[in-house]
Chains A and B, each alone.
Chain A
Amino acid sequence: MPVETRAEATQRTAPTPGRSVAAIAVLLAIVAVLWWSVGFLADPTAVDRVVAGILSLIGADGAATVIEQRGLTPVSQKLGSAVVALVVGVVGVWALFIAANRAIDATFGLRTREKIRPWLFVGPGIGLIFLYLLLPMVGTIYESFTDSDGAFTLSHYQFALTDPSMLLAFRNNVLWLVFGTTGSVLIGVGFAALVDRVKRESLAKSFIFLPLSISFVGASVIWRFVYAWQPEGQPQTGLVNAIITGLGFEPVPILSLSPLNTFALIVVMIWLQTGFAMVIFSAAIKSVPSEVIEAARLDGAGEFVIFLRIILPMIRGTVLTVATAIFIAILKVFDIVWVMGRGGNFDTEVVATRMFKEMFQFQNFGRASALAVLLLLVVVPAMVVNIRNMNRQGVGA
C-alpha cells in the first residue's frame, strides 16, 4: 500500500502567494507553448519556416529565401516534423509535469497537495485514454442504434444478424477462431515440449518466434507467394502447388476456392501466432518442479504420459491465458483477409473486413458501428476476467 508521505509534510514550507503566482505562470506558459507546438505540428510547411527563420537569424539570408520559396525536400520536411514531435512529446510533456508539480506545491496546503498530485500523475494518460477509447466507444454504441435520420433503430443489428452475407462472415469468423486458436495452441505447446529436450533450444525457438515480428501485410505477401497458382501445364512457382503438381495432381487455385481459401488464410495466422504461444508455454513447462517429474519417472511413467498427465495439467492456467490471447487477436483479424482475400472476395469475408467496407465504401456508419459492437460483445468476458484477476491480486498490493 502507498505510504503516508510524512516526509513531504515535514519538509515543505507553506505556500506563499508570490511563489504560487510565479509557478502557475510558468505552468500556463508551458501549456501555451505545448498548444502552439501541436498547432505547429499540424501544419506541414511549418518546418520550412523554422529552418528559414534559423538561417536568416545566422545571416544566411540567401539560403533562407530559397527555402521560403521552394520549401524543403519532402523527406527533410518529414524528418524535421518527427524531430519536433519527439522534442514536444518528451521535453514538453516532462516540462508540463514538472511545472504542474511545482505549481501544486507552491499553491496548496499540505493535505490538498497530496490529494491533487495523483491526478496530475494519471491525468494526461487517462485523459488520452478517455479521448481515444472510452468516449469513441460510447459514440459507436450510440451510432449503432441510430438510423440516418437520427432516430432509434434496431435495423443495423437486424441486418448484421440475419443478412446472408453477414452469416457467411460469421461462419468464417467461427472457422478462424476455432481452427486458428486450437492450431496455434496445439503446435505451440507441442513444439515447446519437444524443443525443451534438444540442444540449441533457443536457436530452434527463434525460428518459430521470428514470424511474430512480421506484419500481417508482410505475412500476407509471403503466403500469397507460397499459394501462388498457375494454370495446369505452366511451371508452378508457388511452393504448395509445386508440391501438388510434383505429386502428380492438378494445381489448385487455393485462394479462390471457398472454403479452402479461408483455411489457407488461417494457416497464415497460425504461422504468426504459434511463436507467441510457444514462448509462454516453454517458460511454463520449465517452471514445473523437477521433483514431480522425477518421481513420475521413477514410477515408470513414459515421457508422453508425463507430458499429458503431469506437465499439461500443471500449465493448464497458462494454456487458457494463451488461448484467450490468441482468440482475441484472431477475432479482430483484418489485414490478412484484406490483403490476401482482396478485401474479402471469394467468400473470405470476416466481420472486421465487412465493417471496414460498410465504413469506407458504403459510408453506412450505423451498420459499421453495429458490427464493431458485436466484436466488442465477444471480448466482454475477457474484459471481465482481466478485471477480476486484477481485483484478486489487488491494486497496489
Chain B
Amino acid sequence: MSVTAPRTVEAPPQTQLATRAPRRIAWRRRGDDGPTRVPGQRSLLVRALVAVIVVVWSLPTMGLLISSFRPAAEISTTGWWTVFAHPFEVTQWTLENYAGVLAEQGMFDAFVNSVVIAIPATVIPISLAAFAAYAFAWIDFPGRKPLFALVVGLLVVPLQMTFIPLLELYVRWDLTGTYLGTWLAHTGFGLPMAVFLLYNYIADLPKEILESAYVDGASHFAAFTRLVLPLAAPVLAAFAIFQFLWVWNDFLVAFVFLGTSSDVAVLTAQLQQLVGTRGESWHLLTAGAFVSMVVPLVVFLAMQRHFVRGLLTGGVKG
C-alpha cells in the first residue's frame, strides 16, 4: 500500500533532519533564563516521558531477542526478564533454537527464497520507473497528464483488487508458484510508487542544467542517462531501500503468487506456517522471527538516513 505526502504545504527542507534546527538553540537558552518556570524540573519530566516511551516501544522486540537465546525449557517456565537477575550466567544462553529453526524448520531455505525474491524484485523496477519518470517530468507529449494521474491514483489501490484476475492469468500462463511470476508481480505493484517517487525528484532538478544540455545538443536519451540518472542517485537509493524492505517483509503477495510449499516459501510465509504448526514452541518462534527480521533491521540501521529522506520526498509504502 502506498500513500502520497504532498510536498507542498509544510514539507521541510531535508537538511533539517541531519542538522539541528536553529530554533532548538533558542529554546534551550530560554529554558536557562526563563524567569517564570523551573526549567530543570520541566525538562526532567520531558526526558522521563521520552525514556518511558522508548522503553515501552523496545520491550517487545527485546523480549523476543532475549528469548530466542534461551533454552526451550526455561522459556516456558520463566519470563524472559528473569535473565536480568544474573545476566552473565552462561548456562542460560544457547544457540540451539537457531540451529533448530534454520535446519529443521526450513528457515534457512526460506531465507534463501527471500533473498532470491527480494533482490531482483528490488532492482528490476528501478530502470523501468526511471525512464517513465523522466518522460513525465521533461518531455511534453499528448496523454502525459492523464497517464500520470493514473499512476498517482493507483498508488493507494488495495492489491486485493488485482488478485483474482491475476491468479486466473497466472494459472493460464503457468506462472503460479514461480519466482518469475512473483518478481513480475512485485515489479508491477511497485511501479506506481517508483514512478511517483522518482518523478518528484527528477521534476525538481534545476531546469537550467537540462536546458543547457539540450542546447548543447543532448538528446532526451543522453540527457536522461548522462545527466539525470547520476543526479537522481539519492532517490534511486531511497526507492531501492523502500522496495527491498517492502518485498522482504511482504506476506500477502508471496502467499498469493508464490505459495507456502517449503521449496519456495519466503521467510514471512514460513514463519506464519510455524505459528500454525508450532504455535506454543516459543523457542522456535522467537528464533524464527528474529531470522526473518535480521536483514531488514541491518538494512534499516545502515541506511536510516536514505530511508527518512525517501519518506519525506513524498511517500511511504508498507
Contact = CB atoms under 8 A, between A and B. Distances in A.
A228 to B, nearest CB: 7
A365 B161 contact: no
Interface stretch (B83-91, B92-100, B116-124, B230-238): B116-124
Contact of B36 (A235, A300, A355): A300
A286 B27 CA distance: 12
A82 B182 CA distance: 12
A28 interface: no
B272 A213 contact: no
B126 to A, nearest CB: 8
A166 interface: no
A226 B60 contact: yes
Interface string B102-142: 00000001001101100110011001110110111111110
B147 A321 contact: no
Interface residues of B, number: 149
Contacts of B22: 290
A314 B9 CA distance: 10
Contacts of A210: 57-58, 61, 297, 300
Interface string A293-306: 11001001011000
Contact of B318 (A224, A329, A392): A329
Contact of B271 (A11, A114, A187, A221): A221
Interface in A163-198: 187, 191, 194-198
A372 to B, nearest CB: 4
A128 B190 CA distance: 10
B273 to A, nearest CB: 10
A332 B286 contact: no
Interface in B294-313: 296-297, 299-301, 304, 308, 311-312
Contacts of A348: none
Interface in B273-301: 275-276, 282, 285-286, 288-289, 292-293, 296-297, 299-301
B276 to A, nearest CB: 8
A121 interface: yes
A302 B237 CA distance: 42
A194 B249 contact: no
Contact of B132 (A10, A79, A121, A325): A121
A239 B63 contact: yes
Contacts of B184: 128, 132
B252 A235 contact: no
A43 B291 CA distance: 29
Given A81-B116, A372-B158, A208 B8 contact: no
A121 B299 contact: no
A13 to B, nearest CB: 13
Contact of B220 (A8, A386, A389): A8
Contact of A376 (B43, B161, B179, B297): B161
A41 interface: yes
B318 A74 contact: no
A216 B251 contact: yes
A339 interface: yes
B186 to A, nearest CB: 9
Contact of A132 (B67, B166, B250, B293): B166
B227 interface: no
A41 B42 CA distance: 63
B59 interface: yes
B147 to A, nearest CB: 6
Contacts of B128: 93, 124-125, 128
Contact of B164 (A139, A215, A328, A334): A139
B220 to A, nearest CB: 6
A85 B63 contact: no
A396 to B, nearest CB: 6
A328 B192 contact: no
Contacts of A379: 156-158
A365 to B, nearest CB: 5
A228 B9 CA distance: 44
Contact of B139 (A117, A125, A197, A215): A117
Interface in A322-373: 322, 324-325, 328-329, 331-332, 334-335, 338-339, 342, 352, 355, 359, 365, 368-369, 371-373
Nearest to B270: A217
A286 B23 contact: yes
Given A75-B109, A235-B78, 9 more contacts: A2-B140, A41-B180, A42-B178, A82-B120, A93-B127, A129-B150, A217-B251, A222-B60, A386-B153
The 10 A-B residue pairs with the shortest CB-CB distance in the complex, in nearest-first order: A132-B188, A139-B165, A215-B249, A290-B23, A287-B12, A325-B3, A121-B135, A213-B300, A89-B124, A136-B162
18 contacts: A2-B138, A79-B115, A82-B120, A128-B184, A132-B187, A140-B163, A214-B249, A221-B285, A225-B286, A271-B60, A276-B316, A280-B5, A317-B8, A318-B9, A372-B163, A376-B161, A386-B152, A395-B203
Interface of A: 1-3, 5-8, 10-11, 38, 41-42, 44, 74-75, 78-79, 81-82, 85-86, 89-90, 93-94, 97-98, 101, 105, 114-115, 117-122, 124-126, 128-129, 131-137, 139-140, 143, 187, 191, 194-198, 204, 206-218, 220-226, 228, 235-239, 242, 271, 274, 276, 279-280, 283-284, 286-290, 293-294, 297, 300, 302-303, 314-315, 317-318, 321-322, 324-325, 328-329, 331-332, 334-335, 338-339, 342, 352, 355, 359, 365, 368-369, 371-373, 375-376, 379, 382-383, 386-387, 389-393, 395-397
